[in-house]
Amino acid sequence: MTYSIPIPETSRLAFESHKEKPGQNAGLVFERFAPDIKENPELKEDGLQSVLKAFSRADTKLFQEWNIRWEQVVRAAHAEPFTMKTNWRLIAGLGEKGGLEVGFTFHRYGFPYLPGSSLKGLARTYGLLEIALGLESAIKNKNEKEPLANLDEILSREKMSKFEEGLHGYNPDSDILSMAQAFRQVFGTTDTAGKVIFFDAIPSAIPKLEMDIMNPHYPEYYKEGSNAYPTNWQSPIPVKFLAIASGSSFRFALGWRNSPQDSHENSEKKQKTWNGWFKGEQIVQNANPESPRLIKLARRWMQGGLLELGVGSKTNAGYGYFS
């Protein structure tokens, strides 16, 4: 089918001559060579199908070299890669704006991936929830309107004295205090970077992309700036989007940000063993025993998030969970 693509004519001709050949970049097709759906919204599905077709012609050699390069970078940071699989479908970047009105996170090489910033945020959320669970009684007694936001602000305070002052308002035991201090080291504060590096997660094999669909039952209500109510007489408008198939394997890694303090006699590596609250070995599999304990803790928080919270969009509907 011939349709208008909002790019220069020379680029369109180059695309037309190449799109049946191997070595396609689905991300480039998705972002730059999608049809102009403003002229015809019905072309949206054709655009998504063209992305799926391009992905079926992905450059396998490039994918292999990408994996090799990723592992070399990870190993250079003394990180230990590990693999997890999606339980069901995964949607990365659905909320991003794009020419097809739905987003998707492609690496510049044209393959799906999970940005390290997203994984750090997931691990941080899981760690925050674990600390909040340990302070549950005190939080209930405070009867705060936004207890997690308040706790997050305390954990992120620049000065240690201010952090300790705020946390002692919850009367924490020694285990929760240790966990909160570790949280600050892993993720940093408003003034200091965290000690743990969260690498992008990439597929260990080229995954399968699938067309998926959702049916918002109140389209007028969901429109931006609309004052409509979610009434039953509105007709559902199907929205199609891309998803990563169930059973897709991804490679994860966490590194250590070296600093002069790491060689000090009181460095993190030389601390005594954790108190009873640290049960990382129950989740962390095949972790390097020589890795800094904060990496083990960060990995436990990240894996906990992948197992129990999910990553990406529509996690409430079962998307984005790993095993």
| pLDDT band of 27, cuts 50, 70, 90 | very high
> Tell me: the pLDDT tens digits for 133-149?
999 999 999 888 899 99
Single out the residue of 35, 77, 41, 86 nearest to residue 204, CA to CA.
86
pLDDT tens digit string along 65-103?
999 999 999 999 888 899 999 999 999 999 887 778 889
Q: What is the pLDDT of residues 198-231, one digit of tens each?
A: 999 999 999 999 999 988 788 778 777 888 888 8
* Residue 283 pLDDT level (bands cut at 50, 70, 90): very low
* Mean of all residue pLDDT scores within the chain: 87
Q: Is residue 59 predicted with pLDDT exceeding 60?
A: yes
What's the mean pLDDT in 182-205?
A: 94
pLDDT confidence band for 278 (50 / 70 / 90): low
Sheet holding 82-85, edge to edge: 82-85, 249-252, 202-203
How would DSSP label each residue in 142-164?
HT-SSHHHHHHHHHT-SSHHHHH
Mean pLDDT of 30-35: 86
Exposure string of 58-84, with b = 16+ CB inside 10 Å and e = fewer, is: bbeeebeebbeebeeebeeeebbbbeb
Domain layout of the chain by residue ranges: 9-76+92-112+213-243, 117-199+250-317
Cα radius of gyration rounded to whole Å, the chain? 23
